[in-house]
Structure formats: structure tokens, C-alpha cells
């Protein structure tokens, strides 16, 4: 009986361990968590690494491909196959809005959904992140020539208040939301910039 009991306890704990891991992945520390780092550059890098939890989540990466096709769900190829089109809104006969409406649409009797937003589209090719080290994403994010022409103040607004970015925290059933909240992501962005917007080396 003892091996059976041991196995039962193990099987019981496995889902709890998975849940704990999932819950941990959804946490996001605020700027105050890095206040003890005295060197501004080091604190700035640490803050951006925390931002990386959001940036490298599927909610951001899926719509920041370096090629012509987005990903979906938690980082799998988009089905049906689609392309970005001339302006990131899809091909003329298959625009993003063909399937993506103004808000997430749950499937009936299912734990799945189609995410949505009034301006659902891909980020420009110049803002492609997939496959890049976090340090390169950071440099790219600071370059107006590759970040959609955003100033630092506009970048804070984009990360902290833009509605399409915000959909990463309300992706609909069947998807893991981005860690933390958009408000916290915006606060981290502001703190990162105010400490010098330093980038990780990799």
C-alpha cells in the first residue's frame, strides 16, 4: 500500500506544481522591487528584464513576427495560414477583421475563443521580435526608425495605455494572459526610461 499511497500523493501534487509554475509565470514585479539597486544602469537593465516577461510572452510575440505570418495561442503557427499584407491588417481577401472582431469571442461550449480588438493587426516588420535576444529587442524598441516612430514618452503611453497592447491582458478563454497588468507594464516602462533606458547585453 505504501508505494500506492506515495504514487497517489505524487499524482496529486503534479497538478499543483504545474499550477504554481503557471501562477509564477503570471507575476510581474513593480519598479519598487528594484529600488535597492544603487547603480542606475544596473537598475535600468533589471527593470527591462522584468519587462521582458511581458515582451517575450506569447501575447506580444505572436503579433511581432519577423516574417509575414503571425503566431497564435501560446506560440504556434496561425491557422488558417495568413499573411500580414501591405499594412499589417492581412491580405485584401483575408484581412484580420475577417475573423477578429472588436473583442474576444468565446466558442460555445468550449474553453477557447478568438481574440479581438477594433484595430487588430500585426506590428510592422521593423518591430519584429520573434527569435531575437531580449537585449536586441530593447535596442530596437528605443530606435524610432524601428519602433513605429515612437518617442520615449510615446513609448510609455504605448506600453501602458494603448488598447491593442492592453488586449494582451484580456486575450479571451483558452489563452494565457500577459504577466501582471498593463498599468504595471507602463510603470515599468517609465521607470526603465527614467533610469537611463539601459539595455541588457543579451
**Dihedral, CA atoms, 43, 49, 50, 55, nearest 10 degrees?**
140
What is the per-residue pLDDT for 32? 97
What is the per-residue pLDDT for 121? 92
Q: Say if strands 71-72 and 76-77 run parallel, antiparallel, or are unpaired.
A: antiparallel
What is the per-residue pLDDT for 6? 38
Cα distances from 201 to residues 14, 38, 56, 83, 137, in angstroms, run 36, 19, 16, 32, 11
The ranges of the chain with pLDDT < 70 are 1-25
Give every CB contact of residue 118 below 8 A, 6+ residues apart in sequence.
102, 163
Q: Rounded to an integer, what distance in angstroms lies between the CA atom of residue 32 and that of residue 48?
A: 13
Amino acid at each position: 500500500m505504501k508505494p500506492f499511497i506515495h504514487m497517489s500523493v505524487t499524482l496529486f501534487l503534479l497538478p499543483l506544481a504545474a499550477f504554481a509554475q503557471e501562477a509564477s509565470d503570471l507575476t510581474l514585479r513593480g519598479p519598487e522591487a528594484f529600488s535597492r539597486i544603487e547603480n542606475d544602469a544596473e537598475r535600468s537593465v533589471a527593470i527591462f528584464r522584468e519587462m521582458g516577461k511581458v515582451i517575450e510572452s506569447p501575447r506580444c510575440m505572436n503579433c511581432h513576427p519577423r516574417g509575414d505570418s503571425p503566431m497564435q495561442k501560446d506560440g504556434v503557427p496561425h491557422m488558417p495560414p495568413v499573411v500580414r499584407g501591405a499594412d499589417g491588417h492581412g491580405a485584401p481577401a483575408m484581412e484580420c477583421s475577417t475573423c477578429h472582431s472588436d473583442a474576444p469571442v468565446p466558442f460555445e461550449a468550449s474553453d477557447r475563443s478568438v481574440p479581438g480588438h477594433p484595430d487588430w493587426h500585426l506590428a510592422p516588420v521593423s518591430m519584429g521580435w520573434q527569435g531575437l535576444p531580449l537585449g536586441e529587442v530593447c535596442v530596437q524598441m528605443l530606435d524610432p526608425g524601428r519602433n513605429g516612430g515612437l518617442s520615449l514618452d510615446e513609448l510609455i503611453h504605448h506600453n501602458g495605455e494603448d488598447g491593442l497592447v492592453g488586449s494582451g491582458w484580456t486575450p479571451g478563454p483558452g489563452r494565457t494572459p500577459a504577466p501582471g497588468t498593463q498599468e504595471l507594464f507602463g510603470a515599468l516602462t517609465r521607470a526603465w526610461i527614467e533610469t537611463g533606458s539601459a539595455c541588457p547585453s543579451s
